Structure 1
Amino acid sequence: MATLADRLDRCYSGAIYDVMRDMGLRPGVLPRTIRGLVPDQRVAGPVFTVRGRPDPEVDAHTSLLEWTGLLSRAPAGHVIVCQPQDDTRALMGELSAEALKLRGVRGYIVDGGCRDTELIIEQGFPVFCRYTTPVDIVAAWRPEAFDEPVTIGNVTIRAGDFVLADRDGIIVIPADRAKEIIARTEAVIATESELRRAIRAGEDPQRAYLQYGKF
């Protein structure tokens, strides 16, 4: 039986957005500057949040010990969403991505940087970030909170929320409405498939809209 995360992974962000809008909810869309390392990357699942901060006083050993501790905390079947409060360093690299993938983590979204991108792409581990840089976190950055709310752009993400990231962008689904939103989105996608067949069969676009109530 498909999990809620698996069902969400078969949806797409535009359909989720439409459903949340039509439900009177404010769709939680992350800034468009956060993109996948490659255009066809996608990831969906429940969120594990991380918040950290630059610390010029931290030594190399402590920073790496705390970073590897972050990797060890990440639960299988989840998507890590990281607010590093940092605009300089890479908050993901090749060895970290491989460790997370082997632990069963679905993917990684960061309001910050990434490095070793070619190697991460070869691994097939989904990473969404704002920029790339060779600068790492050693003796410069440390995590400070796990599974606590983080804010990216104007969206607050909480542990247990769901996230879907695809070619069009990243949308956050509140935990208490996830089942309903995903079920409604599945119904919308089924209707869109019927609408698509009608259009391909030569149906007038306006008549198709009036018949299916979607476009």
Structure 2
Amino acid sequence: MYVINAMPEQVEQADLDLLSGVETATVGHWRFFGFMNHSIQPLLPKRRIVGTAVTIAIPGPDSTLLHHITGMLRPGDVLVVDRMGDDRYACWGGGVTIAAKAAGAVAGIVDGPCTDLTEIEDSDFPMWARGISPITTRLYDLGGGINIPVSCGGVVVNPGDAILADESGVLVLPRGEVNEVATKALAIQERGKEREASVKTGLKLGEVSGASDKVKARMAV
């Protein structure tokens, strides 16, 4: 059985532009949800992407629907793949990479392994996955779903959510929260730069952050 829903409205470009300056680790200073498990790692180093989540769920050994969805992708989309618990079969390789990039997708995120790392590198296509596997999927026509709520890295991803991914991990944000989260994160990053500049001039990190005052107060009790 296949469930194929309409493509989601894309996140406002102005919000994505704002989010593109944010580090996932900055948001991690105060937000505790929306982060995929740290085992989903970037396959290409030093990449940061933002985009609109397009979701797909496919069963273990089958990638029929994944091939199909590459023809639906638009510029700015991030394809998020729910593997329905499978961690043995690599559904994403060189062919899917070329097709996704040709469609204008900005990245792929797979809750399982990929394959053909050299071809992914040669395509310069950012990918996040749970490693590499030589055992690949086939076109078994087993079914699946497109643009349904999925689970990826322990996070519920809805079609149309905003995705921010970098070398530290992957963050999923409801589209209505992007502007607020990005604005707060950018302010924190600016203060962080000021703090780093102070430490470089000789101030102690604990003094600048306030940590030393907390320790001294505790010791005085």
TM-score under structure 1 length normalisation: 0.82
Q: Which amino acid aligns with 2:34?
A: G
Find the counterpart in structure 1 of residue 214 from structure 2.
none
Find the counterpart in structure 1 of residue 187 from structure 2.
187
| Mapping of residues 7-86 of structure 1, within 5 Å | 7-20=18-31, 26-54=32-60, 64=64, 66-85=65-84, 86=86
Aligned length: 197
**Partner deviation per Cα, 1:76-122 (whole Å, 9 max, x = no partner):** 20211110222222121112111211211110000012111111112
Q: Which amino acid aligns with 1:130?
A: R
Structure 2: state its 5+ residue gaps.
Answer: 1-12, 211-221
**Partner deviation per Cα, 1:116-162 (whole Å, 9 max, x = no partner):** 11111121100111121232222346552122111124321111222
Alpha-carbon contact 2:61-2:89 (below 8 Å) kept = no
Distance 1:102 1:12 in 2: 27
Distance 2:115 2:14 in 1: 32
Alpha-carbon contact 1:48-1:78 (below 8 Å) kept = yes
Equivalent residue of 2:29, what SS?
helix
Distance 1:114 1:195 in 2: 40
Equivalent residue of 2:53, what SS?
strand
Q: Which amino acid aligns with 2:132?
A: T
Find the counterpart in structure 2 of residue 97 from structure 1.
97
Q: Provide closer, same or farther for how the CA distance between residues 197 and 133 of structure 1 changes in structure 2, counting only shifts above 3 A.
A: same
Find the counterpart in structure 2 of residue 113 from structure 1.
113
Q: Provide closer, same or farther for how the CA distance between residues 190 and 160 of structure 1 changes in structure 2, counting only shifts above 3 A.
A: same
Find the counterpart in structure 1 of residue 8 from structure 2.
none
Deviates more, 1:103-112 or 1:71-80: 71-80
TM-score under structure 2 length normalisation: 0.80
Distance 2:191 2:109 in 1: 31
Q: Provide closer, same or farther for how the CA distance between residues 72 and 143 of structure 1 changes in structure 2, counting only shifts above 3 A.
A: farther
Query: How much does 1:9 deviate?
Result: 2.5
Distance 2:141 2:186 in 1: 41
Equivalent residue of 1:191, what SS?
helix
Q: Which amino acid aligns with 1:168?
A: S
State the superposition RMSD in angstroms.
Answer: 2.1
Alpha-carbon contact 2:18-2:179 (below 8 Å) kept = no
Q: Which amino acid aligns with 2:124?
A: G
Deviates more, 1:169-178 or 1:38-47: 38-47
Alpha-carbon contact 1:45-1:162 (below 8 Å) kept = yes
Alpha-carbon contact 1:54-1:140 (below 8 Å) kept = no
